[in-house]
Structure 1
């Protein structure tokens, strides 16, 4: 068996469905970033443990969780509130940890948006680290989100998990990505000043994760990024095959890129002190490159 962590912040819309999907495990822990809505009240209605910790950043929150919140099993799985565990995925995870060949495993997400699976423009299969030995992984910050550091080898799980993005409405998505864009702008300036494009990983990377991250670093240096991102996602990745939901998704991602560029310009030309990286609390995922 493995334990399941659920990360939350103001997730009253999604938390019940997430917990119910996670109860396949006998050890579920809700790690909450001091929610101000009904998230905790709803979670208390289920046989789960609840801990709260003030949010600093995505990487620090996850690392604190792994180091400070004890669980019943050596293997853990991380869920965010708008994600779901499935019986098929749960069984594959159980099978893997019986005779593990690696210390951590990536799982591909299926982005559900406007009631449809965005199969093409989300770069499916797009992998996230989810299942791992608790003592082998910690996290650092990157832009608005986090990146894992793994002391061991990694593998890939065949089953996928649904990610119900934008389930709280378009206004929430815009508000959330307005916050995210500030941290992405800070990371963009840092990467342009100190980073480089990993060309070998871009073309010859051993995994989707390695190639995607190299593509992200390249995209920071391209002119007309919002337009390029829309063309890339809608035409080259086949977002047009995802119908109206796919068109809307691609437009929103291009808009997000434009917000980042505006924040970069603002930080370079206006006397505004940007917040520290990871300042705003939110555990919701986005679909950046």
Structure 2
């Protein structure tokens, strides 16, 4: 059996469907970042544990969760409210926990946007560490999101999970990515000043995760980044095959890159520049 952590913040639209997708487990833990909507009220209708903790960052929230909330089982799975578990994925996760070789597993998402699976322009399959042995993994911040630190070998799950990235509407998506772009701009400045490109991982990386992270470091140094990202996603990855939703997705991602660059400029040259957090200096 698995313990399931679900991270939430104002998720009244998604939380019921998310919980119902993981009811195969009898240990579901809602880790809420002090929601102001009906998230916890809706969650109370289900046999789940709920804990609130003020949000600081994605990495810190996950690390606090793992250190402060003891799961019922040795193996845990992290889910966000706009994601779903499938029975096939759950069963494969259960089987994977019986392999003593690995302490964690990466799982790929299927990005759902405008009622369509964005199959091509999302670099599918894009893997994230979601299933792991409790006490063997913790997280650090990177840009608006996090990166895992693993104490042991990791593997990959074949089954995927749907991620409804715009389930709360385009306005919420834009508000969220406006916040994300500030964190990404800070990370960009830090990486440009202190980071390097791992060319070996870029061309010879053994996994999709290693190659993608090296490509990310390269992209931070690429001129005309928003334009190049659109061309890369729409034509090279094949976003044009995703139809109208694919065109909208690629356009939004290019806009997001441009917003990051504008904030990088503001932080470097404007009188309103925002300082880089001390933990990234």
What TM-score, normalized to structure 2?
0.97
1:98 corresponds to which residue?
A: 98
Distance (whole Å) between structure 1 residues aligned to residue 61 and residue 210 of structure 2: 24
Shift of 1:276: 6.2
What is the DSSP-based 3-state SS (H/G/I as helix, E as strand, rest coil) of the residue aligned with 1:36? coil
Shift of 1:99: 2.9
Contact 1:197–1:218 under 8 Å retained in 2: yes
2:15 corresponds to which residue?
A: 15
Contact 1:230–1:253 under 8 Å retained in 2: yes
Shift of 1:29: 0.2
1:140 corresponds to which residue?
A: 140
Distance (whole Å) between structure 1 residues aligned to residue 43 and residue 276 of structure 2: 31
**Correspondences of 1:192-231 after superposition (within 5 Å):** 192-231=192-231
What is the DSSP-based 3-state SS (H/G/I as helix, E as strand, rest coil) of the residue aligned with 2:272? coil
Moved over 3 A (4+): none
1:74 corresponds to which residue?
A: 74
Per-residue CA deviations over 1:185-228 (Å, capped at 9, x if unaligned) read 00000000000111000000010000000000000000000000
1:177 corresponds to which residue?
A: 177
What is the DSSP-based 3-state SS (H/G/I as helix, E as strand, rest coil) of the residue aligned with 2:97? helix
What is the DSSP-based 3-state SS (H/G/I as helix, E as strand, rest coil) of the residue aligned with 1:120? coil
What is the DSSP-based 3-state SS (H/G/I as helix, E as strand, rest coil) of the residue aligned with 1:135? coil
Shift of 1:269: 1.1
**Correspondences of 1:18-37 after superposition (within 5 Å):** 18-37=18-37
2:64 corresponds to which residue?
A: 64
Distance (whole Å) between structure 2 residues aligned to residue 276 and residue 24 of structure 1: 43
Moved more, 92-101 or 1-10: 92-101
Structure scoring higher RCO (CA < 8 A, sep ≥ 6) equals 1
Structure 1 residue runs of 5 or longer lacking an equivalent are 278-289
Contact 2:266–2:273 under 8 Å retained in 1: no
Aligned residues: 278
CA RMSD of aligned residues (A): 1.1
2:114 corresponds to which residue?
A: 114
Per-residue CA deviations over 1:43-79 (Å, capped at 9, x if unaligned) read 0110000000011111010000000001100100000
Contact 1:182–1:274 under 8 Å retained in 2: no
Structure 2 residue runs of 5 or longer lacking an equivalent are none
